[in-house]
Amino acid sequence: MKRRISFFAWLAPLLLGVALALWWARGPHAANDSTDPAAAPESRPVAEPRAESALNVPVAAPAPAASVAAPSAVQTELAGLLALADPDERFRRLDLFWRRAFVADPDGVIAAIDALPPGDERSQALLYLLTELVERDPERALSLAIALIRAPEEAHLFATLFDRFARQDAVRARAWLARVPAGPGVAPAWRAVADVYAQSDLAASLAWARGVADADAREVALETVLYTLAAKDPLRAFEIALEALTGEPRDRALYQALREVIPHDPAGAASLIVAMPFSEQRTLAVVEAARAFADLDPRRALAWAAGLPVDDASALAVANILEIWAHNDLPGAIAKIDALPAGEARAAAAERVATLMANQNPAAARDWAAGLADPASRERALGAVVDAWSRSDAAGAAAWTLGQSAGAQRDAWLGAAVSNWAVQDQAAAARFVANLADDATQRAAAVTLAPYLAQASPHAGLEWALGLRSEAARREATLVVYQAWLGNDPATAAAWRAGATLPADIAGALRGL
């Protein structure tokens, strides 16, 4: 069994944001909030947080904001620091400023923070202020959080605050949850308290979470506790989530429990998946279980996947199983693909196996894919072959596409080959496209190549585009390159257009951008 990984400690880095995390890690107050010193926060499980503004629990009225104005000296120095252009230097200098100013004039600092507009600098200041107060005066820290935390991007600070509260006094922290104002800060506070409680007493926290009166808060608390339970008893966590949760909290908790089961018992996980409601998390679980099951017994895995309801998840399961099967037994996997009924599962499996084959022998993969009887499987497989083939031999793959029947499918294959060619050798790809004889083919390839040339050199890209033989290719490629340039450097692009001698239709189109 894996070591326990808590829900809140996984969620906190996402909520704090990269900039604040980097800043705080450099400060003297940096700390690991996990009670397990061996559990690094970044190793904790990943799940998408639910929308948290819907929680509606009884709350006390927010405390008033600071009633005094920040001293003029504080305001002047702060304005200078906020004007610093380099974000790292700005954050570093602000860190030092808040620490120094708070010692000299705590009320003035609170007033200055209160006056800051929403943004990273205000979040940084609030984090410093609340962390400074939470140990020595938790009551004041909470009152100030209620008064000062207003923007949605600051709501994560309630998680930091209530994590500390719960470690100081768990009973008091649970009581103080009712004081958090309704809005996006409620769920982070409940998650933090539930997480710390689950780490210290899993059975008691489970009973507490299930007994929370408010339905929304109950789901937040119970989902959080189940993350800790899943690491210890995933089957029980799965059962409770299925019975006691609804919607996205249920789906995330079920998936988290299955992630603990799949590596050790993929067949058992596969049987549990049948009970999951349809969701994005179910699709993820199906794919993960399919790959683990296929490593163990591809025949049984394929039989299981064939029994799933026909949807995108089942098609992905079949494709993943046959891809793994093909690694060990290519003829056997191909025979299974041929036996599948026409549909998404067969086409997806053919695409996966074609990629695998093309990485080893492009010519053999091309011949196999071209011989597939099912049109959808044949097109998908050939597309996969061209993509894989052109990563090692773009010229050969592109030349092959020109020998196929004209149409949207050939243009798509050629586009894939040109894109990969542009990554390897832009000059060669540009010469190839410029020499294409068919107008429609040149237009499609030129539009594909143009963004790569624009990124490398807008001037050179425009010169190339304006020299193309096909009128449609010339016009569309020029528009693509110029529009990319205009987005990156509007002044220079506009100056080039004003001084360039261009055909009337192209000049008019560029002026309209």
What integer is the mean pLDDT of 255-268?
A: 97
Hey, what are 21's tokens? 């995390």
Q: Would you say how long the chain is, in residues?
A: 513
What is the pLDDT of the chain when averaged over all its residues? 88
User: pLDDT (tens digit, 9 = 90+) per residue, 325-350?
Assistant: 999 999 999 999 999 999 999 999 99
Rounded to whole angstroms, what are the CA distances from 273 to 28, 279, 283?
Answer: 46, 11, 9
State whether residue 311 is helix, strand or coil.
Answer: coil
Which of residues 29 and 153 earns the better pLDDT score?
153
∠ CA 435-438-444 to the nearest 5 degrees?
85
As a whole number of angstroms, the distance between CA 189 and CA 141 comes to 14
Taking the CB of residue 263, how many other CB atoms lie within 10 A of it? 11
Q: Is residue 473's pLDDT more than 60?
A: yes
As to burial, measured by CB atoms within 10 angstroms (0-12 exposed, 13-18 middle, 19+ buried), residue 331 is exposed
Alpha carbon 125 to chain centroid, angstroms: 27
What SS3 class is residue 244?
A: helix
Say whether pLDDT at 458 is over 90: yes
DSSP code of residue 54: T
Question: What is the tens place of the pLDDT at every residue in 412-423?
Answer: 999 999 999 999
Cα–Cα distance between 409 and 416 in angstroms, integer? 11
Token digits for 188? Answer: 């982070």
By CB atoms closer than 10 A (0-12, 13-18, 19+), residue 135 is exposed
What pLDDT shows up at residue 288? 97
Burial class (CB in 10 A: 0-12, 13-18, 19+), 9: buried
16-30, 157-171, 380-394: least confident range = 16-30
The contacts of residue 511 (CB under 8 Å, 6+ apart) are 497
Do 440 and 446 meet the contact criterion of CB atoms below 8 Å apart?
no
Report d(CA 339, CA 414) in Å as an integer: 30
Which segments of 105-156 does DSSP mark as H helices, in order? 106-115, 120-134, 138-148
Tell me the per-residue pLDDT of 165-211, one tens digit each, with 9 for 90 and over: 999 999 999 999 999 999 999 999 999 999 999 999 999 999 999 99
Q: Residue 55's pLDDT band (boundaries 50, 70, 90)? A: low
Q: Write out the two tokens for 401.
A: 């596409």
pLDDT at res. 68: 64
Residue 406 is which amino acid?
A
**Tokens representing residue 384 in the block:** 């996969």
Residues 480, 466 contacting (CB under 8 angstroms): no
Can you spell out the DSSP letters for 372-396?
A: -SSHHHHHHHHHHHHHHHHHH-HHH
Residue 284: name the closest of 308, 249, 318, 252 by CA. Answer: 252
Torsion of CA 10, 45, 14, 91, to 10 degrees: 60
Which range among 18-27, 124-133, 466-475 shows the weakest confidence by mean pLDDT? 18-27
For every residue of 41-93, DSSP letters joined together read GGGS---PPPP-TT-----PPPPP---SPPPHHHHHHHHHHHT-S-HHHHHHH
What is the pTM for the complete model shown?
A: 0.76
**Exposed, middle or buried by CB within 10 Å (0-12, 13-18, 19+), for 86?**
exposed
**How many whole angstroms separate alpha carbon 114 and alpha carbon 111?**
5
Instruction: Say yes or no to pLDDT of 511 above 70.
Output: yes
CA–CA distance, 164 with 467 (Å, rounded to integer): 66
The pLDDT > 90 percentage for the chain reads 84
